[in-house]
């Protein structure tokens, strides 16, 4: 089964740590990701730029509105994601708990929906090119 591990960080907690500690956390995270990739469990891993670089797009009543920042104010902000393969939710949780970001935020574990099954259900064909 595929799961996405969505990484949320609390900037106040993260920024309060010494640079040497956050650098160590990042080294641990990268080593963990490298091992998961070698084991065939990690498909994709990406970090996001800070929320100050984000734009949110909403269309309401035919009008497009673009605002700075994420959708809502929150203590924890989206920092990145990992797409993994795991036997089940329990194994996905175990993998998520090994990421250091659970110490300064939250690692959300969510099953990935089979988009091809959705495509078949709604009778949509893939576009070429």
For 63, 95, 116, the CA distances from 47, given in Å and listed in that order, are: 31, 17, 26
Q: Is residue 70 part of a domain?
A: yes
Indicate whether 15 belongs to any domain.
yes
Please indicate, yes or no, if residue 126 is contained in any of the structural domains: no
Question: pLDDT tens, 23-76?
Answer: 998 899 899 999 999 999 999 999 888 778 788 788 899 998 888 876 556 677
For the stretch 65-122, pLDDT in tens is 888 876 556 677 788 899 999 999 999 999 999 988 888 888 999 999 888 888 888 9
Q: Give the global pTM.
A: 0.79
In a domain, 103, yes or no: yes
Cβ pair 57, 66 in contact under 8 A: yes
CA dihedral 10, 52, 99, 76 (to 10 degrees): 30
- In the chain, the number of structural domains is 1
SS3 sequence of the chain: CEEEEEEEECHHHHHHCCHHHHHHHHHHHHHHHHHHHHCCCEEEEEECCCHHHCEEEEEECCEEEEEECCCCCCCCEEEEEEEEECCCHHHHHHHHHCCHHHHCEEEEEEECCCHHHHHHHCCCCCCCC
Domain that holds residue 109: 2-121
Look at residues 128, 84, 129 and name the one whose alpha carbon lies nearest to residue 110. Answer: 84
Report yes or no on 127 lying in a domain.
Answer: no
CATH code of the domain in which 59 resides: 3.30.70.1060
Distance between CA atoms of residues 32 and 38, nearest Å:
10
């Amino acid at each position: 089964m595929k799961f996405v591990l969505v990484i949320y960080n609390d900037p106040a907690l993260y920024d309060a740590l010494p640079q040497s500690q956050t650098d160590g956390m990042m080294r641990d995270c990268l080593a963990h990701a490298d091992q998961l990739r070698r084991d065939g469990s990690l498909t994709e891993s990406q970090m996001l730029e800070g929320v100050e670089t984000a734009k949110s797009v909403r269309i309401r009543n035919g009008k497009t509105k673009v605002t700075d920042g994420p959708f809502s104010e929150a203590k924890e902000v989206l920092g990145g994601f990992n797409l993994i393969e795991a036997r089940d939710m329990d194994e996905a949780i175990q993998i998520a708990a090994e990421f250091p970001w659970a110490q300064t935020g939250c690692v959300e574990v969510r099953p990935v929906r089979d988009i091809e099954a959705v495509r078949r259900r709604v009778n949509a064909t893939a576009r070429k090119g």
